[in-house]
């Protein structure tokens, strides 16, 4: 599959739609304009790739809706050179957006099939995360910690302690947490010091579940 002027036009339109929906971070909007989302989807979805919708990516998973990707990316407040841990690599689209924003990305995927496919795809597109790993995101990546921010891209039943512990002071954890309505509350934790975290909540989103550790 190729990236053409037509795709670029559709990406510019998508960025405009996200701006209308309230995304203000220019770094996020520029990244949405850069990353060829159609190349992260099965070719049968190519015509729909720049609609603001989630799509299946195999192994029972989805590529997140662009608005959700943009919203979470904005909450992270990524600066160039920041180290960002992503839980749930999936298609690699969110990984690519963070990379385009200038982050050093570390990403963990629980399903081997997706891990393998995405590990091959990203370098082909010139996208070079610092580290991709196959493993259990509940544990984070202690060997590469601490991180400027952590993003979880699947529905969490609770906030895993290791992810909090792997944040720098001042660091931000963005995670959709199951609520009583059966959807997820987008939650931001900011690490104030060794022991204290400030919590902010941003309304309802829908994600596929974070899978329990099967080991
Ligand atoms: N960021 C992805 C979203 C994929 S959906 C994208 O832009 O396409 C969520 C992903 O989280 C799925 O790929 C799923 O397999 C993965 N996942 C689920 N539980 C996990 C866990 N415990 N650790 C790491 N990844 C997990």
147-152 and 131-134 beta bridge pairing: unpaired
Q: Is the dihedral of CA 215, 94, 119, 58 positive or negative?
A: positive
Q: Given this model, what pLDDT does residue 46 score?
A: 85
Catalytic one of 43, 44, 64, 119 = 64
Mean pLDDT, 10 residues at a time, over the chain (215 residues)? 92 98 97 96 88 88 94 97 97 97 98 95 97 96 98 97 98 97 96 97 94 68
Asked whether residue 46 is assigned to any structural domain, the reply reads: no
Asked whether residue 82 is assigned to any structural domain, the reply reads: yes
**Which atom from ligand 1 is nearest to the alpha carbon of 138?**
22
Print the domain residue range for 137: 65-205
Give the binding-site residues of ligand 1, using a 6 Å CB cut-off. 61-64, 87-88, 90-91, 93-94, 108-111, 114, 136-138, 153-154, 208, 210-211
Asked whether residue 201 is assigned to any structural domain, the reply reads: yes
Map tokens 């994600």 to a residue: 207
Asked whether residue 112 is assigned to any structural domain, the reply reads: yes
| CATH number of the domain bearing residue 164 | 3.40.50.150
Tokens read off for 125: 């597109």
Q: Tell me, yes or no, if 64 is annotated catalytic.
A: yes
CA of 95 from ligand 1 middle (Å) equals 11
Asked whether residue 89 is assigned to any structural domain, the reply reads: yes
CA 114 from chain centre, in angstroms, equals 15
Asked whether residue 51 is assigned to any structural domain, the reply reads: no
List all residues 6 or more positions away from 148 whose beta carbon is below 8 Å from its beta carbon.
78, 79, 82, 83, 84, 168, 171, 172
Q: How far apart are CA 99 and CA 79, in angstroms?
A: 11
How many domains, the chain?
1
Q: Given this model, what pLDDT does residue 43 score?
A: 84
Asked whether residue 143 is assigned to any structural domain, the reply reads: yes
- Which 3 state secondary structure label does DSSP give 191? strand
Cβ-based burial of 20 (10 A; exposed 0-12, middle 13-18, buried ≥19): exposed
Q: Given this model, what pLDDT does residue 164 score?
A: 98
- Which 3 state secondary structure label does DSSP give 25? coil
Q: Given this model, what pLDDT does residue 213 score?
A: 66
Asked whether residue 198 is assigned to any structural domain, the reply reads: yes
Condensed to tens digits (0 to 9), the pLDDT of residues 14-23 reads 999 999 999 9
**Which atom from ligand 1 is nearest to the alpha carbon of 154?**
9
């Amino acid at each position: 599959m190729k990236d053409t002027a037509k795709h670029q036009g559709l990406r510019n339109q998508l960025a405009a739609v996200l701006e209308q929906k309230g995304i203000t971070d220019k770094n996020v909007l520029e990244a949405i304009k850069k990353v060829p989302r159609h190349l992260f989807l099965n070719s049968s979805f190519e015509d729909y790739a720049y609609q603001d919708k989630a799509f299946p990516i195999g192994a029972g998973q989805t590529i997140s809706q662009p608005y959700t990707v943009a919203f979470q990316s904005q909450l992270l407040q990524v600066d160039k050179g920041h180290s960002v841990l992503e839980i749930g690599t999936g298609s690699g689209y969110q990984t690519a957006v963070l990379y385009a924003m200038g982050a050093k990305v570390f990403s963990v995927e629980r399903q081997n099939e997706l891990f393998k496919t995405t590990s091959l795809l990203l370098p082909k597109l010139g996208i070079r995360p610092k580290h991709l790993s196959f493993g259990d995101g509940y544990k984070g990546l202690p060997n590469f910690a601490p991180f400027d921010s952590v993003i979880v891209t699947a529905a969490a039943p609770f906030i895993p302690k290791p992810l909090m512990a792997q944040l720098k002071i001042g660091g931000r954890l963005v995670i959709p947490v199951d609520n009583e309505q059966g959807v997820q509350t987008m939650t931001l934790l900011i690490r104030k010091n060794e022991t204290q975290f400030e919590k902010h909540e941003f309304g309802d989103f829908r994600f596929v579940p974070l899978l329990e550790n099967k080991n």
